[in-house]
Amino acid sequence: MISSNQPLSPGRLRVINLASSEHLDAACNKCGDPSYRDATEALELESRELRAKLTAILSHVPIVSLQQPMGWTYEPLGIITAQTVTGTGIFSDVASAFTDLFGTQSGAYNAKLRDGENLCKASLRAQAIEQGGNAVLGVDVDYAEVGGQRAMLMVCMTGTAVSLTQIVPDDPSFFDATRDGASLANRARDIQDALQSARV
């Protein structure tokens, strides 16, 4: 009788090894598939927990336009950028036309710009954490219309990710809140990469 067992793919082995302390070099699908399913569930649960922890950390990461806030000492880590592009849609264009006519602000456009700004800020914070930082300094914001005929609104932000070593007023809880961000972000990225490679 010919065995139907097949070797487990490298992607699935990676998921199993990431979820456990042991390291498998090879496994067959008969033994490996159940372990892969268990490992996938465990890593997806861990990924959700890591996202919640990282979200809490991100809320502590300051973003300022100042190059050197008074009393802050830091180590620069690198330039980071974020961009968002949002479609305006026909109803926003109609609302904007009326507000242009009467000289008032367009709430529809303002809301889209605000959403774009918030997404860019979240991206800058996440990038700073991934680089081992805990703040973003010297932030610059730019806006543009792209796509022709006011089809899309673009928000771009740039800044410098830094690792703060001192802040004024002194706040030890700030450093406690942001200390493990880089390791949590690296683990979350490893899990996402492993799960994605196993599905390909």
For 82-101, how does the pLDDT look when each residue is reduced to its tens digit (9 = 90+)? 999 887 654 444 444 445 44
Which pTM value belongs to this model? 0.74
Q: Which CATH class is domain 73-168?
A: alpha beta
Residues forming CATH 3.30.110.70 domain(s) in the chain? 73-168
Q: For residue 9, what is the DSSP state?
A: P
- Kindly state the greatest CA–CA separation across the chain: 84
* Cis, peptide link before residue 76, omega less than 30° from 0: no
For 147-197, how does the pLDDT look when each residue is reduced to its tens digit (9 = 90+)? 766 567 889 999 999 999 988 777 778 888 888 888 998 999 999 999 998
